């Protein structure tokens, strides 16, 4: 392989870097990053294949490719099993709910697909192959977008946590209160992360304000903002504090908090503190709300993170539902046509 083979990857990498520097809060960067990783991996496989063929001929190359394929299948199977186990753990610790249900269903679907694929190969079930291929088309698209979201969101949160610049305002996003009035460990983590950014900005010579954002839910005795403000007071916080206590979701959190910040005549950069699994979607919403800055994320319990991340991904898919429905619909067409053909043949 010559250097010219790497030119497309280099061009994509430069374009990605420029895009991230201009505006990092875009899922499209994750898609480009995943394409770049796939291209580099493909070039690496070609290079490795040439090396294997030079050492042991076509037979060695075939064995190497088989090993890579089996490792991929094993990795997918392990992922499915992990998601099922994670769902069981979530049910034990958190009870029945949407998040563990999503994790469990995803794990069962992945495991079933792998088992069907292995059965088709081992038992020569040729009738299964078209079904697996056609079902795999929309599934592959969703998996690709999820991998793009996961890789880029992890990088975004790591970078903003480590290298986030001083700001003029910090917004801490609320979450449900324990017992309807108590700050939970998850919410306390967000408050500590927000205070950390606040104090870092003070040390840098800024005079930031801290905004706690969250309204009162139907099962809550006080607003989340009020509970967060009381928690901060008990933790010794004495800096400028604003309460936004009308919002009901992340979009309203950021819209109403942005209004408070502008009313305070602060037009600089803003840092939004939330949980790590939620940080990138909050950054996307923050961009759409026209708020300059970045989000930071506090760590979440390991058992909770996978299901919560899947839930965030589904929320992003729904926020771009028109585009995703069109693409998934087109990718489902071969499956629909094949099914219609089977049915008409059976009753024809």
Residue 99 binned pLDDT confidence (cut-offs 50, 70, 90): low
| Residue 97 reports pLDDT greater than 70 | no
Distance CA 13, CA 7 (A): 10
Contact (CB, 8 A) for 255 and 246: no
pLDDT at 37: 94
| Residue 160 reports pLDDT greater than 90 | yes
Q: How many domains does the chain have?
A: 2
CA 134 to chain centroid, in Å, comes to 26
Around Cβ 183, how many Cβ atoms within 10 Å?
22
Q: Radius of gyration of the chain from Cα atoms?
A: 24
DSSP string, 43-75: HHHHHHHHHHHHHHHHHHHHHHHHHHHHHHHHH
Higher pLDDT: 17 or 79? It is 17
Same domain, 123 and 16: yes
Distance CA 322, CA 320 (A): 6
CA nearest to 273, candidates 334, 195, 220, 206? 195
> Mean pLDDT of all residues in the chain?
90
Dihedral angle sign, alpha carbons of residues 69, 70, 75, 79: positive
Rounded to a whole number, what is the distance in angstroms from the first to the last CA of the chain? 54
Is residue 328 domain-resident? no
Residue 231 binned pLDDT confidence (cut-offs 50, 70, 90): very high
Is residue 229 domain-resident? yes
Is residue 317 domain-resident? no
Q: Which of 133, 160, 187 is the last residue of a domain?
A: 160
| Residue 341 reports pLDDT greater than 60 | yes
266-273 average pLDDT score:
87
Same domain, 84 and 186: no
Number of H helices and E strands in the chain, helices first, is 10, 5
Same domain, 187 and 279: yes
Q: Which of 129, 160, 191 is the last residue of a domain?
A: 160
Residue 272 belongs to domain with CATH number = 3.40.50.620
Same domain, 154 and 51: yes
Same domain, 28 and 148: yes
Contact (CB, 8 A) for 76 and 112: no
Contact (CB, 8 A) for 268 and 169: yes
pLDDT at 179: 87
Same domain, 106 and 220: no
Domain that holds residue 144: 3-160
Placement of tokens 């070609």 in the chain: 46
Residues near 18 by beta carbon (within 8 Å), at least 6 away in sequence? none
DSSP string, 134-189: HHHHHHHHHHHHHHHHHHHHHHHHHHHHHHPPP-SEEEEEP-PPBTTTB--HHHHH
pLDDT at 53: 73
Same domain, 170 and 256: yes
Q: Which of 160, 181, 212 is the last residue of a domain?
A: 160
Is residue 316 domain-resident? no
Whole-number percent of the chain with pLDDT over 70: 96
pLDDT at 85: 87
pLDDT at 198: 96
Is residue 240 domain-resident? yes
- Reported as type and span, the H/E element at residue 212 is strand 209-213
Same domain, 152 and 168: no
Lowest mean pLDDT among 23-32, 95-104, 176-185: 95-104
Contact (CB, 8 A) for 27 and 284: yes
Residues near 166 by beta carbon (within 8 Å), at least 6 away in sequence? 200, 201, 204, 205, 206, 208, 269
Dihedral angle sign, alpha carbons of residues 118, 119, 123, 128: negative
pLDDT at 31: 96
CA nearest to 256, candidates 232, 285, 278? 285
Residue 276 binned pLDDT confidence (cut-offs 50, 70, 90): very high
Give tens-digit pLDDT for 237-262.
Answer: 989 999 999 999 999 999 999 999 88
181-209 average pLDDT score:
94
Give tens-digit pLDDT for 10-63.
Answer: 999 999 999 999 999 999 999 999 999 999 988 888 888 777 777 777 777 777
- Reported as type and span, the H/E element at residue 314 is helix 305-319
209-231 average pLDDT score:
93
Residue 145 binned pLDDT confidence (cut-offs 50, 70, 90): very high
This prediction has a pTM of 0.89
pLDDT at 2: 67
Distance CA 181, CA 63 (A): 61
pLDDT at 247: 94
pLDDT at 279: 96
Show the tokens assigned to 150: 């996961």
Is residue 231 domain-resident? yes
Same domain, 128 and 187: no
């Amino acid at each position: 392989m010559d250097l010219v083979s790497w030119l497309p990857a280099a061009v994509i990498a430069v374009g990605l870097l420029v895009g991230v520097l201009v505006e990092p809060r875009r899922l499209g960067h994750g898609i480009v990053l995943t394409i770049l990783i796939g291209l580099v991996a493909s070039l690496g496989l070609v290079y490795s294949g040439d090396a294997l063929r030079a050492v042991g001929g076509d037979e060695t190359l075939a064995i190497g490719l088989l090993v890579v394929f089996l490792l991929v299948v094993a990795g997918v199977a392990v992922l499915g099993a992990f998601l099922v186990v994670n769902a069981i753990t979530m049910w034990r610790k958190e009870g029945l709910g949407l998040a563990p249900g999503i994790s469990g269903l995803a794990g069962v679907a992945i495991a079933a697909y792998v088992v069907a694929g292995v059965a088709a190969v081992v038992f020569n079930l040729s009738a299964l192959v078209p079904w697996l291929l056609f079902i795999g088309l929309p599934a592959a698209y969703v998996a690709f977008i999820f991998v793009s979201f996961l890789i880029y969101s992890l990088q975004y949160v790591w970078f903003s946590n480590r290298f986030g610049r001083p700001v003029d305002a910090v917004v801490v996003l609320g979450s449900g209160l324990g017992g309807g009035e108590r700050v939970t460990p998850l919410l306390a983590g967000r408050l500590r992360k927000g205070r950390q950014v606040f104090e870092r900005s003070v040390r840098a010579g800024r005079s930031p304000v801290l905004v706690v954002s969250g309204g009162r839910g139907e099962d809550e005795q006080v607003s989340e903002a009020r509970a967060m403000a009381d928690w901060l007071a008990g933790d010794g916080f004495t800096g400028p504090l604003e309460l936004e206590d009308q919002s009901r979701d992340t979009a309203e959190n950021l819209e109403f908090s942005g209004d408070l910040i502008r009313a305070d005549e602060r037009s600089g950069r803003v840092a939004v503190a939330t949980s790590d699994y939620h940080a990138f979607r909050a950054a996307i919403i923050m961009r759409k709300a026209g708020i300059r800055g970045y989000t930071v994320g506090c760590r979440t319990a390991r058992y909770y993170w996978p299901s919560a991340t899947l839930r965030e991904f589904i929320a992003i898919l729904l926020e771009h539902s028109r585009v995703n429905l069109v693409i998934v619909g087109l990718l489902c067409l071969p499956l629909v046509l094949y099914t219609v053909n089977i049915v008409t043949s059976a009753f024809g």
